[in-house]
Amino acid sequence: MSVIPKIRGKRLDFIKYKKRYLEESILELFEYYPVIAVLGARQVGKSTLIDNLFDNELHQIVFDPVIDIGNAREDPEFFLQNIRCPAFLDEVQYAPELLGTIKRRVDKEKKNGMYILSGSQNLSVLKSISESLAGRVSILNLWPMTRRELEEEEKPSFLRQWVLENNDEIENLPKPPVLPVLPLIWRGGYPGIIEFPDRLIPGYWQSYLQTYIERDIRTVANIGSLQTFGNFMGLLAALSGQEINHMQLGRELGIDRKTALAWTEIAQATYQWISIPAFSRNAVKKIAGKSKGYFTDTGFICYLQRIGSPEALQNHPLKGSLFETYIIMEIVKSFQDWPISPNLYHFRTYSGAEVDLILELNGVLYPIEIKMKSNPSKRDVKGFESFKACFPTENIRKGLLICSSETIQPLSEEVIAVPWTLL
């Protein structure tokens, strides 16, 4: 019988715990799977989440890239014999030898709620988990915190209503809060800095970058110059929200295209980067086919670009792309508690018409444009018309413009402008 404790809100010694979207999913899935894997970037709160959900009900072991904790790598069978279930195996990428042994024990015990695994990179661990524990594990991705999580706001987002409930009525929507977005962009969503004053944020990111490169990158890839990789991350941060040309990216750093592509994949494998493919259906050749990439946390971008305060963002040339990145990631993170996540695409023609994001769910396409401006107009959503013209047979819903307006505004019968705070 698996241990399914009630959700607890205990305060840790260093920060106040805030409820995460994944809580209910983890508790429910642990009833139906022998193994749960919670994956995400370093310091997004994986251990804190599990600790607060299960309090002291789990036998917890944190693995290390240097020290073989409990000889888990050398003798995984003996290691598992001497821990009680349910167990939480934290940073399991440092002890991948355990996965085959976990499979054998799960097959022998034939019960659910045995192990929770966590990891901060999926370059090898996700492949190992998928191969070793196929059919026995449920894999969940934990992202940095959303605005709703940070502010402990429990009302469902308009996006959930618009897509999952197929409801675009705006008459009964709550009045959106009016909030300054630049401080949220600058701080990002990592839970470790919730209670930090602004002056301590750059120091946090300096330590984070050093630890990320020294521990995560050194262990997952054979990179000759870690300093060059650090410079690569800074350049990649500046390109968030753009289609990536890896040949040009490599040229800037004195590396070849193949290396630039491999390093981008490492950033994605360590949850620092996501890639959104172009929507095409292979129907119209005039459509550009490159993927767009996004850094997963705008606070990290601001540090890498040496943006020292929220006020410095006001006139910064990256302000627009940072807003787009912030909104894209708020949308991506909101899917964590959806029963099924939509496919994500973007659209751009060689003539320049574009749609920032397209959600695809149940055969329906939901186009989304993102603008930082507070007074949107029809000129901001011309890409919707081009998108519909290119794909006249597709089931395309009303367009959504996410912006900095203070009220919901129908721009036409086919487009609704929505304040970003309703996400």
DSSP codes joined into one string, 315-377: T-TTHHHHHHHHHHHHHHHHGGGSSSPPEEEEEEBTTS-EEEEEEEETTEEEEEEE---SS--
The predicted pLDDT at position 141 comes to 93
Provide the pLDDT for residue 359: 97
What pLDDT was estimated at residue 9? 41
Q: Is residue 275 a contact partner of residue 286, using CB atoms and an 8 Å limit?
A: no
Mean local confidence (pLDDT), 72-91:
91
Q: Is the pLDDT of residue 405 over 70?
A: yes
Instruction: Give yes or no for residue 368 having a pLDDT over 70.
Output: yes
pLDDT in the model for residue 335:
94
117 φ, ψ (degrees, to nearest 5): -110, 150
What's the confidence (pLDDT) of residue 4?
A: 42
CB-based contact 132:102 (threshold 8 Å): yes
CA triple 275-374-160, angle to 5 deg: 50
Enter the tokens of residue 422. Answer: 């309703």
Domain coordinates of the chain in residue numbers?
A: 23-141, 147-422
Indicate whether 193 pLDDT > 50. Answer: yes
Output the pLDDT for position 8. Answer: 41
Question: What does the pLDDT average to over 377-387?
Answer: 91
Does residue 5 have a pLDDT over 60? no
For the four alpha carbons of 61, 66, 67 and 70, in that order, the dihedral sign comes to positive
Residue 311 token pair: 């006020």
Residues 299 and 305: their CA atoms lie apart, in Å, by 10
Cα dihedral across residues 371, 43, 142, 95: positive or negative: positive
- 138, 29 contact by CB (below 8 A): yes
Looking at residue 215, its pLDDT comes to 79
Q: Which residues of 374-387 are buried (b: 16+ CB within 10 A; e: fewer)?
A: eebeeebbebbebb
Instruction: Specify the range with the lowest mean pLDDT, choosing from 289-293, 313-317, 329-333, 359-363.
Output: 289-293
Task: Give the model's pLDDT for residue 142.
Answer: 96
CB-facing half-sphere around the CA of 318: CA atoms within 13 A? 26
pLDDT band at 143 (very low <50, low <70, confident <90, very high): very high
Q: Say what the pLDDT of residue 12 is.
A: 41
The mean pLDDT value for 402-412 works out to: 91
Query: Does residue 234 have a pLDDT over 90?
Result: yes
Identify the architecture of domain 23-141 in CATH: 3-Layer(aba) Sandwich (3.40)
Q: Name the token pair of 345.
A: 């695409």
* Secondary structure (3-state) at 139: strand
The predicted pLDDT at position 418 comes to 92
Q: Can you spell out the DSSP letters for 310-329?
A: TGGGTT-TTHHHHHHHHHHH
Q: What is the pLDDT of residues 10-35, one digit of tens each?
A: 434 456 789 999 999 999 999 999 99
pLDDT at 221: 67
Is the pLDDT score of 3 beyond 50?
no
Nearest to 121 by CA among 40, 233, 195: 40
Q: Averaged over 213-231, what is the pLDDT?
A: 79
Q: How confident is the model at residue 308 (pLDDT cuts 50, 70, 90)?
A: very high
Return the percentage of the chain with pLDDT > 70, whole number: 91
What CA–CA distance (Å, rounded) separates 38 from 18?
17
Instruction: State the average pLDDT over residues 293-297.
Output: 97
For the ranges 48-57, 302-311, 355-364, the lowest mean pLDDT is seen at 48-57
| Predicted local distance difference test score (pLDDT) of residue 7 | 39
What mean pLDDT, rounded, does the chain reach?
Answer: 88
